[in-house]
Structure 1
Amino acid sequence: MARIPYVSRETIPDGRVDLYDRLIAERGANPEHIFLALANAPSLTEAVLGMATALRKQTSFPRVFRELAVVMVGVLTNATYEVDHHWNAALSAGVRREQLENLQDFEKSEHFTAEERAVVRLAKEATLEGHVSDSTWAATTFLGQQQRLELLVTIAWYNCVVRILLPLQIEKESWFVRQ
């Protein structure tokens, strides 16, 4: 059970039905539990929505790389909620199931290109160490400066997300099915 209630349109603090309606508009008819928990702090939720939307819709690097990196963050932090949600997003983005199933062995697996390995390695090092080696950073030059920055901010963001999910014990939604 989550450690904080999930809000509804009727229970959102400060009568912020406008924020609840924004959640529906941006996240769909069934917003994820993380957003419904965060909505207990409306101002923070607005900021979170801004960042989440920008990272999902306004970055220029390939979605395949984003989803590989995000699932890796979830795997490394043992954040099942994140892994499952982004597993589906990864498949939708074109990540192959074999890649997801072999993510922990990405360095040796034949299912990854050199570019995909570089992205996953960046996610791994940034998540576990907080910094990345010069060789790992250099291996991502194929992305260019802006895209590497977008990727790094995405990795950092999802490290933040899992550090909200885990302490709050956010549960998967009853409607959610991992593919």
Structure 2
Amino acid sequence: MYGALSTLTRPILPQLRSRTILATSLHRAFVAFPSARMRVPYAPSEPQTEEARPVYERIAERRKPRPLIPLDLALLHNPAVADGWNSFIGAIRTKTSVPEGLRELAISRVAVLNKAVHEWDIHAALAVKAGISRDAMQLVFDLPVTKKGLVESNDTLGFAEDEYAVLSYTDQMTIGVEVEDAVAKKLKGFLSDKQIVELTTTIAAYNCVSRVLVALDVGENNGNDMKKVKDL
């Protein structure tokens, strides 16, 4: 059901060429997004110091073949923070064993709860690509919440049992932080202990992502409509 700078071997010319390519791609990413509404200006699209250059290169490596995104250029006000973020989110995205569909389902629900437009547009599409049905994604988008998370029900509201367990856990982590024992226990029927830790850190990580996106209006998406499920 579920699907998600080259090494420099000669001292001068290749190095200059690599730096030119990096600078060009970073500049293209920077100028593609207006900064009028972002609450701080984006960081420079090129490294300002030799110390910062490897950070830019590591982030560019993870993003390729895409250029840097607005979130990168917001975080690069502090290259050390951007570097740690890149390492952490990179591990969350590529070095966990939670089924891709469940992972993207959880991230999509975080986006809805936190009104993070860009996060929803990207990750809801990835959830569908990974095998989550459009009907399920419409529920993710539409379902209201209570102080305990998903609307209480005697059934799974049309979700598969593993999807419902993940969404209940996501809601409680995101809304009230505290997770009831019964909600946490449901995950054990579908995920290993390792995967439960991975899911928990994924939900926490994308709560962090959405809070930065929304608080600073990174990408100038606040107030825009989220993509409709039929258009994912």
TM-score computed with the length of structure 2 as normaliser: 0.69
Greater percentage in helix = 1
Aligned residue in 1 for 2:13: none
Alignment of 1:83-98 (within 5 A): 83-98=120-135
Alpha-carbon distance change, 44 to 109 in structure 1, aligned in 2, over 3 angstroms: same
Query: Counterparts of 1:138 and 1:3 in 2: how far apart (Å)?
Result: 41
Bigger radius of gyration among the two: 2
Query: Counterparts of 2:204 and 2:187 in 1: how far apart (Å)?
Result: 16
What 5-or-longer segments of structure 1 have no aligned partner?
Answer: none
Aligned residue in 2 for 1:159: 207
* Identical aligned residues as a percent: 30
Deviation at residue 50 of structure 1 after TM alignment: 0.7
Aligned residue in 2 for 1:148: 196
CA RMSD of superposed structures (Å):
2.1
Query: Counterparts of 1:13 and 1:152 in 2: how far apart (Å)?
Result: 36
**Counterpart residue type for residue 111 of structure 2:** G
8 Å contact kept, 2:38–2:218: yes
Query: Counterparts of 2:183 and 2:114 in 1: how far apart (Å)?
Result: 20
Residue 173 (structure 2) aligned to one of 107, 122, 126:
126
Q: Secondary structure at the match of 1:95?
A: coil
Are 1:14 and 2:62 an aligned pair?
A: no
The superposition leaves residues 40-87 of structure 1 with CA deviations (integer Å, 9 ceiling, x where unpaired) of 110001110111011011111101111111111111111112111212
Aligned residue in 2 for 1:82: 119
How many residues are matched?
A: 174
